[in-house]
Amino acid sequence: MLPWGAYPCRLSAARLIQAWWRGHAVRLQTEPILAAARQRRREARAAVVIQRAYRAHLEREAERRRTAALAVLTARVPLFRRWLARVRARHAAADRERAAVVVQSYWRMCQTRRQTRQIIRRITKVQVGPHTLSSPFCLRSMSAYPSICMTKRLE
């Protein structure tokens, strides 16, 4: 028998078989690790799909709730507008009443002042009398009480 080196075909065949065997052995060792990695990738993609579907579901539910709330609010708008109109009418009536009270108060004040001036004029007429205006006493006292004498003179 010849040594291995004498048969190049056998040498390359042995190398080929050894390379295959070593690759096969490595693949047998790494297959569970690679399978686990593939499983994790599949699970991650599945989780993304589930999360996307769940978020879409939540968005649809939120949109349904918003639509229902809008329908309720839209139905209550006329009621709110009527209530607001009543409140505004009450406030307007109260404002008109306050304005009327102010006008009446001012009118009464003017009336009272007029009556008070008339009473003071009448008292002055009684106190001064017609004969006093021509007397020298009144002329001297005019500087002390000009309004009394002036009032009598004007009337």
Tell the residue number behind the tokens 């993304």, with chain if given.
48
From residue 48, how far is each of 33, 53, 54, 55, 116 by CA, in Å? 23, 9, 10, 10, 94
Is there a domain that residue 128 lies in?
no
DSSP 5-22: GG-HHHHHHHHHHHHHHH
Is there a domain that residue 127 lies in?
no
Q: Which of 114, 115, 127 is nearest to 147 (CA)?
A: 127
pLDDT in tens, 41-52: 999 999 999 999
Indicate whether 141 pLDDT > 60.
no
pTM of the model: 0.38
Is there a domain that residue 142 lies in?
no
CB 151 within 8 A of CB 121: yes
Indicate whether 7 pLDDT > 90.
no
The residue range of the domain holding 54 is 8-119
Q: Could you give the CA distance from residue 43 to residue 34 in angstroms, rounded to a whole number? A: 14
Is there a domain that residue 147 lies in?
no
Is there a domain that residue 38 lies in?
yes
CB 134 within 8 A of CB 126: no
Is there a domain that residue 85 lies in?
yes
Q: Could you give the CA distance from residue 147 to residue 132 in angstroms, rounded to a whole number? A: 14
Is there a domain that residue 60 lies in?
yes
Is there a domain that residue 148 lies in?
no
Position 111, amino acid: Q
pLDDT in tens, 95-106: 999 999 999 999
Number of domains in the chain: 1
